[in-house]
Structure 1
Amino acid sequence: MTISIGDKIPSATFKEKTVDGPVEVTTDALFSGKRVVIFGVPGAFTPTCSLNHLPGYLENRDAILARGIDDIAVVAVNDIHVMGAWATASGGMDKIHFLSDWDAGFTKALGLDIDLSAGTLGVRSKRYSMLVDDGVVKTINIEESPGQATVSSAATMLEQI
């Protein structure tokens, strides 16, 4: 079952590579008492993710935070090292959280997993964005195709905040 507006975010622990080294980030620490924009991508360094989806959130980071958002995070079913390299390469390190859902546990708990084995990617995340307020989903935008980033874009999220 796919997570919906009004649902509580499931418990999970991510891995994040920071300038100080790897850390664990729990959903409780990320969402409790905060308004957070989180978006999921099929994979770090993949074309739509790197050329369209992530840049929109980095470019609009200040505008999003100015609307009362406490944090922004991107989640992918990639290992911590790939996510760390993507954070560095994109210029996003220390601007938003690059969270490794290395075993797809969070993605599967959301009901947003997709099998992209035909494209040699295996189980990954559908492309989505959510506004989460104190652990509760307020808006959710799920793309029909992993190659598109329109309904889950930063521009759409800015309209919803």
Structure 2
Amino acid sequence: MASTRMSHVTPALYATLAEIVPELHVHCVDPWCVIGSAAALLAGADVSVADVDVLTSRGDAERLMTLWADRREHVYEPAGAERFRSHFARFRFPGLPVEVMGGLELNQGDGWKPVSAGRLLLAGLNGLAVPMPSVDDQIRILESFGREKDLARAKSLRALTSSPLRGED
């Protein structure tokens, strides 16, 4: 398991992960992982985190919508509906909001295709085991999303090429 330095994890991010990660391990039937800025930060990239993006199966997203029904933000509409679709919900948690994307698909102009997390690594964070894509897979995912903020995160991850978290065998 890759160990993460607590120093770069904000109190808000830690509070959110400490609450959701144990519940995700218990309630998700299929593999899940954290993606986006939170995963990039856990991998050691120098990025800011405004929310926690969780990639799940459609079935697990439905289970989480039931489990966290009282935390759901019903009025929130994610940006980029022309490029992204999923069984989506946003939840309020102490610390940061959590966005669950069940069965996330991406349309880069050639039809809808599932977003694959690729090879998962566990980031160890003060006793929490947080699944996230390998650094190479995070870069692939972020670059496929193509938004300016995602490309900036991918660039920050590329700066980690000497990091042991790259997941190269």
TM-score where L is the length of structure 1? 0.29
Structure with the higher fraction of residues in helix conformation: 2
Q: Which has the higher contact order (CA 8 A, sep 6+)?
A: 1
Q: TM-score, normalised by structure 2?
A: 0.28
Larger Rg: 2
Structure richer in strand, relative to its length: 1
